[in-house]
Structure formats: C-alpha cells, structure tokens
Amino acid sequence: MVAHRHVRLNGIDMHIVEQGEGPLVLLLHGWPETWYSWRHQIDALSAAGYRVVAPDQRGYGATDRPDGVDQYSIFHLVGDVVALIHELGEEQVAVVGHDWGSMVASNTAVLRPDVVRGLVCVAIPPIPRGPLPPMTVTEQRFGKGFYQNYFQEPGVAEASLEKDVAATFRLAFSGVRNPEPSEGFLGLFVEPEALPDWLTEEDLATSVEQFTASGFAGGLNWYRNLDRNWEQTTAWQDVPITAPTLYISGENDPMRVVYPLTDAVRAIVPNLRGVVDVPDCAHWTQQERPDLVTAALLDFLRGL
C-alpha cells in the first residue's frame, strides 16, 4: 500500500508517494503527469526489494507551485531531487525519469554524479548541450508553431489547456494525430473515438482532478526555462554521464524524431548498458506497456 506524505525541501513542500524497503529508486514523471503515471511500477518494484519514491515534481499535483518562471530552472529541479534524496536519509539513488522527468534525471547525473548510482531515461534520451539555444533549434527544425515554442508565452497555453481539462487529456493521452494540425498543442490531435486500452475512465478522471486543482502553469514553466538552462550550463558542455544508463523508448513515440538516439547522445553516455525499444507503444511508455517497462527496469536495477 503506497504511503503519501509531504516533505519540506529546497524552499517548497513536495508531495511524495513511497512504498517498500531496500535500495532507493526515484521515479520522476513527465509533462503533463504526476506521480500517478508510475502507478503500475510502484508495487512491482517495491515487491522486488526496492524502496520506491515517486514525487509530484515542482509545479505539479500536490507539490508547491512557485509563481516565478525563473523558479523552474534545471538547477531548481535537480536541486529538488538531490534535496529529496538527502531528506529520505539516502546518499545515492537509481533515478528513473519519463519525458521531462528523464531530462531532470539525466541532468542530475551530470550535475551531481555522486548521488546517481544508476540512470534510466524513458522516452527522452540524455540530450547533449548543443551550439544554439533550444528554442532557436526547434524553430529551425519544426517551425514557430512547434509546441515547445508555443508554450513560451505565459498564459497562452494555460488558457487553451485549462478550458476543458478532460478534453485536454483525452486528446493528449489518446494521441490521435490531426492530419491538418491547427495552432497550439491541442491542435495536433483530433478527438478519439474511445480511450486507448491502457487508459481507464478512472485514470482519466484522476488526471483531470489533479490538473483542475493545480492548473498547467507550473509544468509549462519548465519549458520556459529551456533557453535559460542552456545559457547557464555552459560549464557542463560535453560532460559525460558516467552512471550506468538504460534507455527505454516506445517504437511509435513521436519524440524519437524530436530527440533521436544519435551518435552524439551515445558519446556522452559511455556506460549505456541497454536500449529497449517497446513495441506497440507511443509516448506514455510506462503506462502503455507497464509489464515490459517494469521488466526492463528490474533487469537493469538487478545489474547495478
């Protein structure tokens, strides 16, 4: 049975879910998700002898949501992770991240390699720091209408996503692509005929309830720091990730086009121990194919 509690760290109150005893495994969700995206993994990992902790990260769920956009830099997000590890009485952790959580996990391995004994990136591989600001790169590659660029103006995406939260999650989680995309993030999708097999009405209602309460601004502010993060991490250019690393990706995930597993990625991850391509799976990896993802996680964790 999972236990819920709040911890005070790095200037915020953070909501965490925890279960089990043993080596610490930290599960970091992506956007737009919360701890709940790991619901299928928590029981299995704890039953296998691990202490599993899944936080609502800064700006999400029942965790604090600072007002300032600048309060969501990669240094704040990694700082939250390191402070949480120490708050839990631990020195090292196997950190697993999906989507934006993968970016936080991999940056933790870059900025604080001493606390990471193993790294699992789900959906998004470690991203090398490039020669240009990220928003310049995405505009050049995908145009000004690319969703990450669209997210940059405070208030715009919030208004769209919060207008009908249930519709937002039906569109995003079902992922039925609009053959003639319109402006904004939701314009990428069309209303599905039914929810995907992996998503129950109860699951949908949980996300709707969480984001109706929290709004979307906190998570969107992570995107609004992408260029700032690039500017402030010059000193870590080309620093390798030395921790043993696993990369898991859905074969049908459109993010594989945005963030491919290139030679440049492999160059900064010299201890890449495995790449798992999950069949019949799009972006919501650990929710869509929980058994395969959990099995891959356990196989990797046992090898640490």
Active site residues: 99, 283
Residue 94: Cβ within 10 Å count? 24
* Distant-in-sequence, close-in-space partners of 27: CB < 8 Å, separation ≥ 6: 35, 38, 41, 42, 52, 53, 54, 96, 97, 101
Three-class HEC string of the chain: CCEEEEEEECCEEEEEEEECCCCEEEEECCCCCCHHHHHHHHHHHHHCCCEEEEECCCCCCCCCCCCCHHHHCHHHHHHHHHHHHHHCCCCCEEEEEECHHHHHHHHHHHHCHHHEEEEEEECCCCCCCCCCCHHHHHHHHHCCCCHHHHCCCCCHHHHHHHHCHHHHHHHHHHCCECCCCCCCCHHHECCCCCCCCCCCHHHHHHHHHHHHHHCCHHHHHHHCCHHHHHHHCHHHCCCCCCCCEEEEEECCCCHHHHCCCCHHHHHHCCCEEEEEEECCCCCCHHHHCHHHHHHHHHHHHHCC
Interatomic CA distance for residues 194 and 180, integer angstroms? 20
